[in-house]
Structure 1
């Protein structure tokens, strides 16, 4: 029923060249490029960091993103992009700059993690479940002061073991509609966080982002994000 994988760096690097192939949704004309487009969204996962304004290839794409916010997807031309992250208001230069290559049809998430003193980008591609009846799950370690983590089902198996900071696990299929999760330091029985009743709908894949601090505030938490993402209200 479960398998494990915690090869973070390969997943993060793979984002640069291997976004998944899905039909892009409708989007404003200024993000079109002869139909060759990708979808990109941003997660603010850097505690104690001001709200963020984010430019992609010099275009203001995400504005005033606060900690734990996950933006909607925005269509952008496929190909090489430069992401510049500014503190809200852009009084100074970018606090983080990173380049990626977006593949046509890809749905991609870029998480800005670390702390205000040292921001770290983590790129990943988002994939649907294998079929309309299945459910998939993966985990992303974005807690700056946490040790390597075990993502565990309460009173059940370890889904992902020894996941280091900045790691994106691969997706695994699960049967349960609801999962009670625990985060533990790798190889330890001590529970760092209990997260009851994570709901997994048929046909969706969910990403569980581990955010915050083990020691300090804001405290360790999990943010669950389904894919396909729910459409925003019109």
Structure 2
């Protein structure tokens, strides 16, 4: 009887110790695999940022493999990079405060050590996703800028920061550019319909040395609701 109790206690403690060691290793892996030096191709994790880009949808809850990540709203509010295990992950989007039925669900295919931006886009009755791999190579003394069109009813768009510098041309809904080199400074950024002089957006945007940005077109061109109207938001990709 005493031998049986001793063996049971020994096995229980061994299991607890193993679980503790696994937890420590996982914690170290998650915190160190993705750092300022950029993606680590030997890691077992990836990093994901999620942007609410559906103008007429409510606030979202974002869930990965049944684990709630965070709630976020349309516009400038988004989920910054969080760590997720690499491989095929199952993502769901719910209305804030309600987990009865997902508004949208999709598969996330994550490669070891890579960074991703996930846009939840479209009309509230026709949600979709745009998953982009983020190249976070340091721009050095310059800035890196990418343009993404996620305005559901916008025409093909051009994006420029100077009269002779078109960073994006003829980008239709859910089309995008790669990251491009831009000299740091404050620019009078223009977004206009491709093939015409119709200015859709005109505003100053500042790009700083050593920083990486995504400029994304959002909202409806045809709407009378101010909060859902066409505009542009800027994401600065922060990995520290």
Please give the TM-score of this superposition, normalised by the length of structure 1.
Answer: 0.79
1:57 maps to which residue?
A: 65
1:84-138, Cα deviation, whole Å (9 max, x unpaired): 1111122531111111211111111111010111111011122225442121111
Q: 2:142 matched to 1:142?
A: no
* Structure 1, gaps ≥5 residues long: 1-21, 27-33
Q: 2:122 matched to 1:114?
A: yes
Structure 1 distance, partners of 2:171, 2:180, is 15
Structure 2 distance, partners of 1:160, 1:174, is 13
**CA contact 2:43–2:113 (8 Å) conserved in 1:** no
2:48 maps to which residue?
A: 40
**CA contact 1:128–1:228 (8 Å) conserved in 2:** no
1:3 maps to which residue?
A: none
**CA contact 2:58–2:73 (8 Å) conserved in 1:** yes
Matches within 5 A, 1:66-215: 66-68=73-75, 69-196=77-204, 198-215=205-222
1:164-208, Cα deviation, whole Å (9 max, x unpaired): 101121111112422211111111111011121x11111111100
Secondary structure of the equivalent of 1:184? Answer: strand
Secondary structure of the equivalent of 2:214? Answer: strand
**CA contact 1:129–1:136 (8 Å) conserved in 2:** no
Largest Rg, 1 or 2: 2
Q: 2:238 matched to 1:220?
A: no
Structure 1 distance, partners of 2:163, 2:177, is 21
Structure 2 distance, partners of 1:60, 1:54, is 6
Aligned CA distance change for structure 1 residues 25 and 157 (closer, same or farther; 3 Å): closer
Larger relative helix fraction: 2
**CA contact 1:132–1:203 (8 Å) conserved in 2:** yes
Structure 2 distance, partners of 1:37, 1:171, is 23
Structure 1 distance, partners of 2:160, 2:170, is 11
**CA contact 2:86–2:112 (8 Å) conserved in 1:** yes
Secondary structure of the equivalent of 1:72? Answer: strand
CA deviation after TM superposition for structure 1 residue 54, in Å: 1.2
Note the aligned Cα RMSD (angstroms).
Answer: 2.1
Aligned CA distance change for structure 1 residues 91 and 205 (closer, same or farther; 3 Å): closer
* Structure 2, gaps ≥5 residues long: 1-31, 37-41
